[in-house]
Amino acid sequence: MTGGAGFIGSHLIDRLLAAGHDVVCVDNLVTGTMRNIDHLQGNPRFAFLRHDITAPLDVEVDEIYNLGCPASPIHYQRDPVQTMKTAVLGALNMLDLAKRLGVPILQASTSEVYGDPLVHPQPETYWGNVNPIGLRSCYDEGKRCAETLFFDYHRQHGVEIRIARIFNTYGPRLHHADGRVVSNFIVQALRGDPVTICGDGSQTRSFCFVSDMVDGLVRLMCAGDGVTGPVNFGNPREFTMRELAHVILRKTGSRSPIVYLPLPEDDPRQRRPDIARARSALGWNPSIELEDGAGETVGYFRRHLGLVGT
């Protein structure tokens, strides 16, 4: 599991260990944190390996989940060249490992491959509307290139691949300062600071709770070689940023004001997955509503950061 000390990766490790698997967590801890996996130390079926996947990796495993890459704008724009290297060279190194071992490999791709979409909701057949030279391009185009590599290794070398396009995901273990909208709003509200919305708040996102996302990834890995993907994973219920802010204010009990800031460059105006393929091929459908998932996520931030509402 590359990126196993990250947000989604650590939850996925918990799920795999609970199912009886042995797991090797590979992470360079640039954006991941040991806090996410501290509870696994001493588990005889868990091992941690500090490693940067831009360098080749030699381990013996029977399946590979490749989640290793910064995923929030603050993190991936901090060192865009390294982000691109992680997305592309990391994919190459993990594909080479899968090829040598003859094992299936799952790529954690992203809804960012759709860019600022001109088709709504976004099906997997949509090729996207991506700026190749913008501030977000290191991540967007890095993930698009990784998908290309996965399919080329599949066609040319017979590597058994799975590609998951992950839409906005939230839940416990989100990094409090990664710039993602759910964690931003929660931390601001708990601190009594203004809740900052970029743009006029009409842009939309769809929010999937992490346990639903993990279930989708496991189902995809277990689906067999007939389901290569790409497969969208996300909650198709759509919220404006204003609606999300009000949900968070209710869940925190905060009286923080809402303020509006300029919209960042290339920020998508709308984002909602078409999950028909996940439903039909995998029997997957998210079950956690935003009101419930937001409450659990707020509780996590209260406990782990010692934040109290105003």
Residues with catalytic function: 139
Closest to 220 measured CA to CA, from 61, 68, 106, 67: 106
- The distance of Cα 288 from the centroid of its chain, to the nearest Å, equals 17
Closest to 245 measured CA to CA, from 267, 260, 262: 260
Residue 122: other Cβ atoms inside 10 A? 25
Q: Which residues fall within 8 angstroms of residue 164, CB to CB, at 6 or more apart?
A: 106, 107, 108, 109, 216, 217, 220, 229, 230, 231, 233
Q: Which residues fall within 8 angstroms of residue 101, CB to CB, at 6 or more apart?
A: 60, 61, 62
Please give the single-letter amino acid code of residue 252.
T
Burial-class residue 209 by CB neighbours within 10 Å (0-12, 13-18, 19+): buried
Alpha carbons within 13 angstroms on the beta-carbon side of residue 215 total 16
- Contact (Cβ atoms closer than 8 angstroms) between residue 107 and residue 93: no
DSSP per-residue codes, 221-264: HTT-TT----EEES---EEEHHHHHHHHHHHHT--PPEEEEPPP
- Describe the crossing of helices 290-305 and 241-252 by its angle, rounded to 10 degrees: 60
